[in-house]
């Protein structure tokens, strides 16, 4: 067993300044989960320039390293404002800082470091870190993983160098197939959600929003303004709903981007009445008050930042959440909707967590009338909606970050030769040491016996495992 320190590298991160989409949510959730499981965790990201450069959680396990702050002060527009300058500074400085301040002392003490880098911005950093490991002889102490959440920037990656430097993972089977085109056979490690998504909902706020929208067919969509998110399909579906089923209320949060104007213009052309909604405050009450002041419109463009507590109420209360992307590497909004017992209408690319018709609706076309059909069925059959909402919560419980780490990430690290000893098993509260905690007996299961290489089969490296059944002409595959 080894003491493990996790180092996460990502442009996006926990700060609102660093949050542009699902990547920021992923990094925040995964880092918090790792720290809560007992692992010392360091997150390097393009943080808010007005917050501390190095912030440590009260228990000392979670370290936030806000990078490029001196550049961000000149670029108040968020993480990707001034992107190229930040990337140059990041690639030049992050690997050297990690080498001196983390890798050297941890390797000297016999510990292990898992570096998990996200997206194309960090690919060059990973290659540089690999060169530093080789130069210092730390390969046995440090494992490098690089994760693809999207295809953004794939044309800027040196794939040959990245393949030689790190193990590659991705978030869904869809993305695994995409990476095959680049000569990479990635391991799928799905996204997770914070356990807070499964906690008791703010019932008072949910009832308040439900009363405010009574008699309306309430649809919601939270996604960046991007054609891949099929916003125009969603707008057309709302227009069809208005014409065929009743009075819709479309809650739309798209963020920034020129494409938003295209979506808004299409809504006007389809005869929808629009209103822009602004609010201040992080709680559901402020958002609901703002919505109540604009209920004369068919489509409310939500211009503020939606906090987790606000999204939870919206996703639960809506008749359906349109997570209908045409290309979706994973689909975090769909999973979040399911976690609060909402009805998610998702696409059919990276949403591996969905069982269509059981816990969510999987849209099979870009025809807006398909959305209208499912919305009509859900509103006309309350039992169908209720069963789907219940099943959705059960599914989402299998995708908390703690569950994903225990079920997928830690076993994969074991394959790479790293055994965790300082994580806390969230299911029984005891260290991941291979033993159940008191009063928690594991059920008996069949044992698949493996021969130790070097004992029955001579000439193989001692300590490696080989399957007892030959896989080819009298030989066995080592694992």
| Residue 384 three-state SS | helix
How many angstroms separate the CA atoms of 159 and 142, rounded? 21
Order of strands, edge to edge, in the sheet holding 62-66?
54-56, 62-66, 40-45, 4-9, 112-118, 142-148, 167-170, 187-188
Domains of the chain, each with CATH number or no CATH: 4-192 (3.40.50.2000), 196-399 (3.40.50.2000), 446-479 (no CATH)
Phi, psi of 142 (to 5 degrees): -130, 130
Q: What's the pLDDT score for residue 119? A: 97
pLDDT (0 to 100) of residue 422: 54
CB count, 10 Å around CB of 132? 17
3-state secondary structure at position 378: helix
191, 399 Cβ separation under 8 angstroms: yes
Position 125 scores a pLDDT of 98
Q: Are 451 and 468 in contact (CB under 8 A)?
A: yes
Structure tokens at 8: 């996460």
Task: Judge whether 395 and 355 are in contact, CB under 8 Å.
Answer: yes
Residues whose CB falls within 8 Å of the CB of residue 12, separated by 6 or more in sequence, listed in order? 18, 19, 20, 21, 23, 24, 27, 45, 46, 79, 118
Three-class DSSP category at 393 = helix
- pTM, two decimals, is 0.85
What is the phi/psi pair of residue 290, to 5°?
Answer: -65, -40
Angstrom distance (rounded) from CA 294 to CA 303: 13
What distance lies between CA 138 and its chain's CA centroid? 30
Question: What are the mean pLDDT values of the chain's consecutive 10-residue runs (479 residues total)?
Answer: 89 94 93 97 98 97 98 96 97 98 96 97 98 96 97 96 97 97 96 95 96 96 95 98 94 91 97 97 96 97 94 98 96 97 97 97 98 96 96 97 96 88 44 33 36 38 34 32
Nearest to 33 by CA among 426, 477, 434: 426
**Tokens linked to 373:** 């059909």
Q: Determine whether 362 is exposed, middle or buried from the number of CB atoms within 10 Å of its CB (0-12, 13-18, 19+).
A: middle
| Cα distance between residue 114 and residue 7, in whole Å | 6
Distance (Å, rounded) from C-alpha 328 to C-alpha 105?
Answer: 40
């Amino acid at each position: 067993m080894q003491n493990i320190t996790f180092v996460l590298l990502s442009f996006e991160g926990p700060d609102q300044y660093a949050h542009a989409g699902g990547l920021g949510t992923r990094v925040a959730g995964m880092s918090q989960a790792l720290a809560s499981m007992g692992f010392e965790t360091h997150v390097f990201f393009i943080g808010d320039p007005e917050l501390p450069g190095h912030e440590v959680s009260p228990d000392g396990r979670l370290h936030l390293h806000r990078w490029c702050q001196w550049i961000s002060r000149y670029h108040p527009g968020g993480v990707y404002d001034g992107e190229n300058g930040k990337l140059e500074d990041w690639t030049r400085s992050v690997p050297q800082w990690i080498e001196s301040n983390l890798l050297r002392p941890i390797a000297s003490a016999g510990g292990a470091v898992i570096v998990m880098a996200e997206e194309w911005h960090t690919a060059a950093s990973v290659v540089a870190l690999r060169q530093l490991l080789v130069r210092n002889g730390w390969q046995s102490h440090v494992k490098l993983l690089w994760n693809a959440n999207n295809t953004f920037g794939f044309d800027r990656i040196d794939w040959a160098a990245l393949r030689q430097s790190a193990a590659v993972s991705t978030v869904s089977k869809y993305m695994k197939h995409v990476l095959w085109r680049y000569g990479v056979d990635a391991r799928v490690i799905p996204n997770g959600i914070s356990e807070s998504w499964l906690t008791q909902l703010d019932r008072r706020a949910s009832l308040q929003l439900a009363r405010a929208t009574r008699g309306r067919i309430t649809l919601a969509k939270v996604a960046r303004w991007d054609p891949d998110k099929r916003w125009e399909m969603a707008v057309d579906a709302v227009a069809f709903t208005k014409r065929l089923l009743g009075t819709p209320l479309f809650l739309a949060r798209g963020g920034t981007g020129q494409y938003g104007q295209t979506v808004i213009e299409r809504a006007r052309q389809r005869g929808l009445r629009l209103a822009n909604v602004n609010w201040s405050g992080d709680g559901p009450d402020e958002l609901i008050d703002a919505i109540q002041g604009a209920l004369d419109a068919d489509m409310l463009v939500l211009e503020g930042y939606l906090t987790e507590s606000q999204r939870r109420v919206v996703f639960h209360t809506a008749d359906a959440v349109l997570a209908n992307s045409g290309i979706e590497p994973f689909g975090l909004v769909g999973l979040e909707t399911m976690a609060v017992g909402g009805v998610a209408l998702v696409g059919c690319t990276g949403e591996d967590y969905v069982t269509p018709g059981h816990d969510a609706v999987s849209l099979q076309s870009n025809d807006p009338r398909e959305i209208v059909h499912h919305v009509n069925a859900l509103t006309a059959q309350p039992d169908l909606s209720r069963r789907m909402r219940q099943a959705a919560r059960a599914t989402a419980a299998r995708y908390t970050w703690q569950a994903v780490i225990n079920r997928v990430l830690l076993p994969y690290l074991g394959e790479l030769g790293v055994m965790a000893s300082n994580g806390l098993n969230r299911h029984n509260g005891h260290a991941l040491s291979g033993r159940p905690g008191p009063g928690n007996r594991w059920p008996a299961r069949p044992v698949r016996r493996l021969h130790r290489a070097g004992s029955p089969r001579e000439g193989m490296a001692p300590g490696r495992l080989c399957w007892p059944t030959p896989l080819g002409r009298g030989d066995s595959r080592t694992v």
